[in-house]
């Protein structure tokens, strides 16, 4: 019997396929894996210990920050700082990036952008949440202090990206630009095992995910698209099913495995949508494209957008390629 492969074994085995195979990216991914285990352990206890509730402060977007957000943020940053591969981190929870400018990071070449705990309003009600990460090579000189320019790179420059979903099982799904693989955590043993090799998003599907409560604020193209997906047409399997958890990682993960589209459009209430280009949209776009799916802002490829600020928001359409293209056609015809 062949033993299942652990994430640690997989990272080492695949290091040789990576163009800059110095082992640093493998080390970096190992840091993320360890931090994910620590965060997972705390999340699993969320209903037991007195950790729920507001931490009494807000994040930079003016939203409530919960205690586990703060905890996850600290754990990931500490894990990345503890080793020498990363010269700076930008987190959705912090207004500015953090430069690691001590001697052990003076030759580090990677920067990490992270949403340490996405969908955190779901924690109190025991619904799946996630961590999303994105890794780039710095563009400024190694040895000099990291700058904003190192973080404001378009998504197509990503070296690796992934997410952790803390769901009915905890999983890590990631890509280094060579396909997408998923690893499921065995809590008894404490290891992630390769459970979903070479993930591919069905080119079309029957699920649409959007917060329809915001319908009145949506652009005409999105409204028309929603009416279209709700029409009866057995040939194209319409009406589609509506599934919306309100936890991006979980909604994306389900649609990736089953086929579907996730939409967070612009609206009168949120002129550029809600989701952040650097912490949420680019990393999942990299995974989607590596799994034969598509990610767009309604007109352009997400990974071609040039970021102008760390916490920039963009409208988001991601999932099965044909479904995203279909939605884009509606925006083009009826307005975005």
Handedness of CA 131, 136, 137, 143 (dihedral sign): negative
Between 114 and 135, whose beta carbon lies closer to Mg ion? 114
Neighbours of 222 (CB within 10 A): 26
- Name the residue nearer to Mg ion (CB basis): 226 or 277: 277
Residue 121 beta carbon to ligand AHM: minimum distance, rounded to whole angstroms = 6
Residue 120 touches which member of Mg ion, ligand AHM, none, C-beta under 5-8 Å by kind: ligand AHM
Q: Which of 24, 85, 115, 328 binds Mg ion (CB under 5 A)?
A: 115
Quick note: the x/- pattern for ligand AHM over 203-232, rule CB under 6 A, is --------x---------------------
Question: DSSP per residue over 6-17, as a string?
Answer: BHHHHHHHHGGG
Question: CA-to-CA distance for 330 and 95, rounded, in angstroms?
Answer: 36
How is 5-65 classified by DSSP, letter by letter?
Answer: PBHHHHHHHHGGGSTT-SSHHHHHHHHHHHHHHHHHHHHHTTTTSTT-SEEEEE-TTS-EE
Considering the rule CB under 6 A, would residue 93 count as an interface residue with ligand AHM? no
Name residues whose C-beta falls within 8 Å of residue 113's C-beta, 6 or more positions apart in sequence: 89, 90, 91, 133, 134, 136, 151, 278, 279, 282, 283
Burial letters for 33-56: b for 16+ Cβ neighbours within 10 Å, e otherwise? bbbbbbbbebbeebeeeebeeeee
Q: Which stretch binds ligand AHM (CB under 6 A): 20-28, 113-121, 191-199, 200-208?
A: 113-121
Helices 282-290 + 248-258 axis angle, to 10: 10
Helices (H) and strands (E) in the chain, counts: 8, 15
Q: Is 93 in the site for Mg ion (CB under 5 A)?
A: no
Q: Determine the size of the site formed for ligand AHM (CB under 6 A).
A: 12
Please state the closest distance from residue 117 (CB atom) to ligand AHM, in A: 7
**Strands ordered across the beta sheet of 86-91:** 98-99, 86-91, 110-118, 129-137, 160-166, 170-175, 180-186, 191-196
| The one segment of 118-126, 165-173, 215-223, 225-233 that binds ligand AHM by CB under 6 A | 118-126
| Among the listed residues 88, 79, 133, the one whose alpha carbon sits nearest the alpha carbon of residue 110 | 88
- Among residues 66, 114, 248, 331, the one that binds ligand AHM under rule CB under 6 A: 248
Label the pairing between strands 241-242 and 207-209.
parallel
63 or 220: whose CB is closer to ligand AHM? 63
The answer to whether 272 contacts ligand AHM (rule: CB under 6 A) is no
Does 85 interact with Mg ion (rule: CB under 5 A)?
Answer: no
Q: Which is nearer to ligand AHM, 105 or 274 (CB)?
A: 274
Given ligand AHM, Mg ion, none, residue 246, with its beta carbon under 5 to 8 Å by kind, binds ligand AHM
What is the contact mask toward ligand AHM in residues 62 to 91, using x (rule: CB under 6 A)? -x----------------------------
Site string for ligand AHM, 21-60 (x = CB under 6 A): ----------------------------------------
For the CB of residue 252, give the shortest distance to ligand AHM in the complex, in Å: 8
Residues within the interface to ligand AHM (CB under 6 A):
63, 92, 115, 118-120, 211, 246-248, 251, 274
């Amino acid at each position: 019997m062949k033993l299942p492969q652990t994430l640690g074994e997989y990272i080492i085995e695949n290091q040789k396929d990576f163009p800059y195979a110095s082992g640093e990216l493998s080390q970096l991914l190992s840091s993320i894996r360890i931090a994910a285990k620590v965060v997972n352990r705390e999340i699993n206890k969320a209903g037991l210990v007195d950790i729920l509730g507001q931490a009494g402060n807000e994040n930079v977007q003016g939203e409530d920050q919960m205690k586990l957000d703060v905890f996850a943020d600290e754990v990931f940053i500490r894990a990345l700082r503890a080793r020498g591969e990363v010269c700076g981190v930008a987190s959705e929870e912090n207004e500015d990036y953090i430069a690691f400018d001590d001697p052990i990071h003076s030759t580090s070449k990677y920067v990490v952008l992270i949403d340490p705990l996405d969908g955190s309003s779901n924690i109190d009600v025991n619904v799946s949440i996630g961590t999303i990460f994105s890794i780039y090579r710095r563009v400024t000189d190694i040895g000099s202090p990291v700058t904003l320019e190192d973080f404001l790179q378009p998504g197509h420059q990503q070296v690796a990206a992934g997410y952790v979903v803390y769901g009915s099982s905890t999983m890590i799904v990631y890509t280094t630009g060579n396909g997408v693989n998923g690893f499921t955590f065995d809590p008894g043993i404490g290891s992630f095992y390769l459970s979903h090799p070479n993930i591919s998003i069905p080119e079309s599907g029957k699920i649409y995910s959007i917060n329809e409560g915001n319908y009145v604020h949506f652009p005409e193209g999105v409204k028309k698209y929603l009416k279209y997906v709700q029409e009866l047409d057995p040939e194209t399997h319409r009406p589609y099913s509506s599934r919306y958890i309100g936890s991006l990682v979980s909604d994306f993960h389900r649609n990736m495995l089953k086929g579907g589209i996730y939409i967070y459009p612009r609206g009168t209430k949120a002129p550029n949508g809600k989701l952040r280009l650097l912490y949420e949209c680019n990393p999942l776009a990299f995974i989607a494209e590596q799994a034969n799916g598509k990610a767009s802002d309604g007109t352009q490829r997400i990974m071609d957008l040039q970021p102008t600020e760390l916490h920039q928001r963009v409208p988001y359409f991601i999932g099965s390629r044909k479904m995203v293209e279909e939605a884009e056609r509606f925006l083009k015809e009826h307005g975005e």
